[in-house]
Structure 1
Amino acid sequence: MIPKIIAWSIQKRFWVLGLAVAIIGWGGVSLYRSPLDAIPDLSDTQVIVKASFAGQPPSVVENQVTYPLTTAFLTIPGVRHVRGYSDFGNSLIYILFKEGTDQYWARSRVLEYLNQVEGRLPSGVTASLGPDATGLGWVYEYALVD
């Protein structure tokens, strides 16, 4: 079988050469038209809210800060998951949105709902949005260390 292919390729060398040039040209055009992203961001759209309640134990932070914020953020349109973590004097809430949600739209909705619920939080609680970044930023944080 292989000797026949070789013999045919030798007899029809211009056809083989033309086919090779066509395939290389097609590859070049495809390469030019393909979008290039060195590290594509495959993470979900997320917004982080950090709330501080200085000097309070985790149980108080959970009941008076994390739980009210988490339940309020569950009602935002397009939210898929809300995760809340309580620590000594701090609360972190991660709001994950459905795929395709615009990052800035999500941040503005979270800020809107945060402003609505701040009046129900105890005095001394300061809540703010986390940095404007994607989940891919954590990869860089861990990768760029000696």
Structure 2
Amino acid sequence: NQVQSRLPAAAKPALGPDATGVGWIYEYALVDKTGRHDLAQLRALQDWFLRFGLKALPNVAEVASVGGMVKQFQVVLQPDRLRAFNLTQAKVLAALKGANQETGGSVLELGEAEYMVRASGYLKTLDDFRQIPLMTNDAGIAV
């Protein structure tokens, strides 16, 4: 209420989910007693499957992931090699972004059925990164 008078008349402030552990209602842990899954696999299960299912439940404001190992790739650029190929950091970044996305296609109709067409192009392995074309030569061939 103390700040309300300083806000524009059209502003409608609202409280978001509590960002601290104080507001947590429920806490759970993923434990693999078989030893077949490492911490990165358990975290991926949480982030890509469980979190979305739990967040879809009524009255769930937030599902916070804590712990585990988050998989990440780091691309380390070598300025001398970039200069040798006349590449910029921006061009490399654009190529990475372009290669790491999901694209919706269209609908394919077969008889009475309709199928959604989409291209999933997320980078998952080191080889996926190696296959990203950064430029083309004079013949138009990706290098």
Q: Which has more helix, going by share of residues? A: 1
* Smaller-chain TM-score bracket: under 0.3
Q: Relative CO higher for 1 or 2, CA cutoff 8 Å, sep ≥ 6? A: 1
When normalised by structure 1's length, the TM-score is 0.26
When normalised by structure 2's length, the TM-score is 0.27
Q: Which has more strand, going by share of residues? A: 1
Highest CA radius of gyration, 1 or 2?
Answer: 1
